[in-house]
Structure 1
Amino acid sequence: MASHLPDSRLRWLLRLTLAGTVFTAIVILVGAWTRLVDAGLGCPDWPGCYGKLVVPDTGYAALRHPETPLEPFKAWMEMIHRYIATLLGVVVLAVVALGWRLRHGRQYPWRLSIALLVVILLQGAFGAFTVTLQLWPQVVTLHLLGGLSVLVIFLWLHLRLRRFAIELPHSPPRRVNGLWLGAAAILVMQLALGGWVSSNYAGIACQGFPSCNGQWWPEMDISEGFHLTQTVGPNYLHGQLHADARTAIHMAHRLGAVLLGIALLTLWLRYRQQASLRSVLFGLAVVYFVQGGLGVANVLLGLPLWLALLHTAGAIALTLGLVAAFWTWRHSAGWEEDITAIKGASHANA
């Protein structure tokens, strides 16, 4: 059994994957902060900043990129994001290196470790494209989804390693059904819409709530708002879309929030009687309503920095919450059967 391994590799893997989950959330929030203070192009090149690994002085920057004047605060924000993202990559490499000797162990999640490495490498590429393609919304949105993918894989890997390390009643996991697939698909869609809102600067395209600009169904340009083959080349800082296109994006995000609420409510109604799931789904519902409130507050208060960061944190919490709920549902069948059998035997003996 994995729990009898003589070395401390498994203990370190458990620590690293848990730390990696938390650290990924921090990297995502720092990335959001960088975007919200318009520092995404604080350094016009990649991976350095004006050709340096640290932010240079104004004179050197002017010689290197005279067309892009140095703004030290924004440049440092961008570089700090790159530094901590690189450190996250080192954590992933450590997880893969430590797992190398365990890769042949029964049920050791080696393929998941490799998937984590592949996704983090893709994230690095998207980070580079974010700068070189000047905040092209498609890449910015994919970069956000990539960060959330790293978050999910880290958490799933940690949970898998816990099962690998601890002796548990052996029971095959439940097969995925349409309810969970639907909820996951709607959450991914809503997260993508959130990224699309942010990358196209549509967060305050609607004034007021629940109406938008004084109308329940305002003027919208859906085809332009979701035109995914936008020209590569222009600087997309502050966006390139007109008002009606941004309104369409914003309204789609609102409608996506309603769909997500319906999906989570459906899960609650279906599984509320299962003791192992009741508290997890209740926590997920609380996070959803808090996240909805943060979204409304962002509209009414004009998207203040701290509130926009909390809204990003809410998206992270929703993602982790749904993963935790799905894991609990998928692996609780055998435990519930064991508990039922034990209770039945106790009653019979009495």
Structure 2
Amino acid sequence: MLKWLRFLGVATSIIMLIVIIMGALVTNTGSAQGCGHHWPLCYGQVVPDLNSDHTWIEFSHRAVTGIAGILIVILAVWSWILYSKVSWVKFLCIGTIFFVVLQAVLGGLAVIWPQSSFILALHFGISLISFATVLLLTLIIYEQSKWKAVIAPPLSKGFRVNLVLCFIYLYIVIYSGAFVRHTDSSLGCLDFPLCNGQLIPPLLSRAGFQYTHRLLAGVLVIWLIINFIHAFRYYRNSGWVYWLTLLSILITLCQAASGVMVIFTRMQLSFLLLHSFFVTLLFGALSFLLMFAIRKTKAL
């Protein structure tokens, strides 16, 4: 049975990743109103006539989100029953259900009533948190049922604080990127590394929104490189810390490259989806580091 629980955790993590990418597909194809202003039904029907690409995309996203919600509830209840006394489990079980419901509600409200760009951008951030809670719960399930060891690298207090701040900053960068997309500012700058031939464009403009996101992302890249150098010097024997800091840099570079290609290809859909895919992976990697930074060393 524990083998099936681990499989459920992995499967739920994957389907949550798919939900996020499908959400990006909805946004980037303009399919948010593919079911009209109806939610949770689609044009008042359980299964609508799928005679429109926008309807098909929006309805598929809702269906997969529903499946993900069912799997999350099963995973959370099962984990609670078996491991409720384990640190983080109760918190993550509640979090997985809360955030997937919040994600669905925000999506539904965006369909029924027009929402501001600030709220629409928040929807993507909530989706990432929902994905991360499932991912971390799955890690604990593996620790308890297979590895029989809690991953708690002996990190210095300073590096722990640094990882927490880095994670918070990542969320700010992600929100700024979602805000750029929901204000139709993805092509505010039509070139790179300059912005419409300018070093610094007017900040209170579509170009300024994208320029600000670029600056924030650039600082993040530098921060992640510093993290890796520190991990390489002091934590090479802590495999998880070393490899996750290295992986975070590689993912960020891929994400940055896809972002540049979004500009050069004038928002080709494949690069837009890749951009969302890489940022989700980065959020997952830094979620692991966040857990290692704030959990206490404790043997099974």
**TM-score, length-scaled by structure 1:** 0.76
Letter aligned with residue 133 of structure 2: I
Match of 1:154 in 2: 134
For residues 135 and 168 of structure 1, the distance between their equivalents in structure 2, rounded to whole angstroms, comes to 45
Deviation at 1:173, TM superposition (A): 6.9
* Superposed counterparts of 1:109-120, under 5 Å: 109-120=89-100
Deviation at 1:332, TM superposition (A): 11
For residues 308 and 34 of structure 1, the distance between their equivalents in structure 2, rounded to whole angstroms, comes to 11
Query: Deviations 1:110-165 (Å, cap 9, x if unpaired)?
Result: 23111211111111211111111235322321110111001110111111122222
Matching residue within 254, 258, 262 for 2:222: 262
SS class of match (1:38): coil
Percent of residue pairs bearing the same amino acid type: 23
Match of 1:64 in 2: none
Say yes or no: does 1:41 pair with 2:33: yes
Query: Deviations 1:162-190 (Å, cap 9, x if unpaired)?
Result: 22224227979756732112211111011
Letter aligned with residue 151 of structure 1: F
**TM-score, length-scaled by structure 2:** 0.88
Deviation at 1:326, TM superposition (A): 4.3
Query: Deviations 1:10-44 (Å, cap 9, x if unpaired)?
Result: 33322212111111111110111111111011112
Q: Which runs of 4+ in 1 moved over 3 A?
A: 103-108, 169-176, 324-335
Contact 1:43 1:49 in 2 (8 A): yes
Query: Deviations 1:280-338 (Å, cap 9, x if unpaired)?
Result: 32222111112111111111221111111111111112112222344566789899xxx
Query: Deviations 1:169-225 (Å, cap 9, x if unpaired)?
Result: 79797567321122111110111011101111110011111111111111231xxxx
* Superposed counterparts of 1:5-20, under 5 Å: 8=1, 10-20=2-12
Matching residue within 134, 138, 141 for 2:118: 138
Matching residue within 174, 179, 182 for 1:191: 174
Letter aligned with residue 94 of structure 1: I
- Total equivalences in the alignment: 291
Change (3 A) 1:14 1:177: same
Match of 1:27 in 2: 19
- Stretches of structure 2 lacking an aligned partner (at least 5 in a row): none
Contact 2:152 2:297 in 1 (8 A): yes
Contact 2:95 2:130 in 1 (8 A): no
Contact 1:112 1:157 in 2 (8 A): yes
Change (3 A) 1:200 1:106: closer
For residues 272 and 33 of structure 2, the distance between their equivalents in structure 1, rounded to whole angstroms, comes to 19
Contact 2:9 2:138 in 1 (8 A): yes
Deviation at 1:106, TM superposition (A): 4.6
Matching residue within 90, 107, 132 for 2:70: 90
* Superposed counterparts of 1:1-350, under 5 Å: 8=1, 10-44=2-36, 45-56=38-49, 72-107=52-87, 109-165=89-145, 166-168=147-149, 177-221=160-204, 245-273=205-233, 274-275=235-236, 276=239, 277-327=241-291
Structure with higher Rg: it is 1
Letter aligned with residue 192 of structure 1: Y
SS class of match (2:149): coil
Change (3 A) 1:134 1:207: same
- Stretches of structure 1 lacking an aligned partner (at least 5 in a row): 1-7, 58-70, 222-244, 336-350
Change (3 A) 1:328 1:185: closer
